[in-house]
Every structure is written in structure tokens, then in C-alpha cells.
A = this chain, B = another copy of it.
């Protein structure tokens, strides 16, 4: 759990220092940015395992920055914890909407922050990187973002790809629509559960073109399951 790379984007030096001290003691690796530009530079240099993002930043607001990160295919996988002042608490929904995975209210204790970070990292962990997944002749190569059957590659949209990847890395397991929303769309996306059905349909259509549509199964009253059976 430790040794993880964390990026803090915060303009108040005092807070940066406090966090730096606390996280250092907890065994984390911290890089600091005081504004959006600096942050993007560091992001480009090396993707952190988690981002601590201040709500209010000079120039671009934290929420806007979060939205930008979550829009990008590469940086979207990095979990974000928003740092908000108590008076901004009511806006927290906006933060969650923008893609934040959690938020911490200032003033916060170092212990709380560390606990939150660990919790979020734990949740994010299961996403495997750069692996190869296979099931019934269907091959997913995470590194190249490609899925193929017998050498022929499938034409999947981004969401279908993520959905399939999630299914393939958790084969045999039933997921409710809500769980799929959490896992594939991200926590706190304000999307109708039925939207999942539609994407399941789209995914099945593509798989069907290669005779593999039965891989995605409906479990009535429970959700969906990916299985080679």
C-alpha cells in the first residue's frame, strides 16, 4: 500500500507542507503542484497513483481540472480526492459529478487524510494494468486497448471496451447495474441504471458479429455476468 505516488495540487503552501509531512511519514511519495499548469506538467511526466486536488485554485478551478483529468483516456484512471473548505461543502455534489472519488473537508487531520487515501487506493487497486485477458477465443490486450477473436479485431467504443475489460477481469461474477456504473462509469456518475442495459446491448452486438454474444449473460433480478459457459 505504501510507496505509492501521490500528487497534491494545492495553492496554500501551509497545507502542502502539512500533507507532505503526514504522507511522508505514512510512506507515501509526494509531488507538489501549486496550480493547474504545474500539475499538468507533473501529470505528463509521470502518472501518479492518486491525486489530492484543492477545490479552489488560482486560474482554473479544481473541479474544472478534475473534469479534464477524467476526460482523458490515460489520466482518467487516477483516483482523485478533493480538498474542500467547509463553506464549500454544499458544492460537494459538483465535485463528485466531476469525477472525484472522495472528498475531504478542511480542516482535516493527517490521520483522516491518510485513512481516506488508503481507502481510495484500496478501491482502485483491482484495476489491472497492461495485462492480457482471454476467454473463449476472445483476447483483450490492455496495453494496446485492443480486443480480437481469431486475429480479427473488434470494433468497440470506449465504454464498451471498459465494460468488456471489467467483465473479463472478473469473469463468472454477477454485477448489478449499480456496480457496473461504479466500476465502468466511475463512482458518482449521475447516469441512469438502464443506460447499462443499452451498453450491454451494444457490446453484445459487437461480440455477436464474431459469434461470441452468449458470453455476456443476463441474470434476471441481479444484473449481468461474463462467462465462457
A178 contact from B122, B187, B227, Cβ within 8 A: B122
A178 to B92, CA, bound (A): 27
User: A115 an interface residue at 8 Å Cβ cutoff?
Assistant: yes
User: A179 an interface residue at 8 Å Cβ cutoff?
Assistant: yes
Among A5-13, A46-54, A70-78, A217-225, the stretch that binds chain B is A217-225
Q: Given the complex, which residues of B lie within 8 Å of A1, measured CB to CB?
A: 176, 178
Name which residue of chain B comes closest to A107, CB basis. B90
Minimal beta-carbon separation of A87 from chain B (angstroms)? 14
Q: Is the CB of B122 within 8 A of A96?
A: no
User: A17 an interface residue at 8 Å Cβ cutoff?
Assistant: no
Known pairs A125-B176, A144-B172, A144-B173; A158 contacts B221 (CB<8 A): yes
Known pairs A1-B178, A172-B144, A220-B157; A92 contacts B112 (CB<8 A): yes
A119 to B157, CA, bound (A): 27
Q: Given the complex, which residues of B lie within 8 Å of A143, measured CB to CB?
A: 172-174
A90 to B113, CA, bound (A): 12
Name which residue of chain B comes closest to A101, CB basis. B119
Q: Could you write out 29 A-B pairs with CB less than 8 Å apart?
A: A1-B176, A92-B112, A93-B109, A93-B111, A93-B112, A93-B115, A96-B115, A96-B119, A97-B115, A119-B187, A122-B182, A123-B123, A125-B176, A125-B179, A126-B126, A141-B172, A143-B173, A143-B174, A144-B172, A144-B173, A144-B227, A145-B174, A145-B222, A145-B225, A146-B172, A153-B229, A157-B220, A158-B220, A158-B222
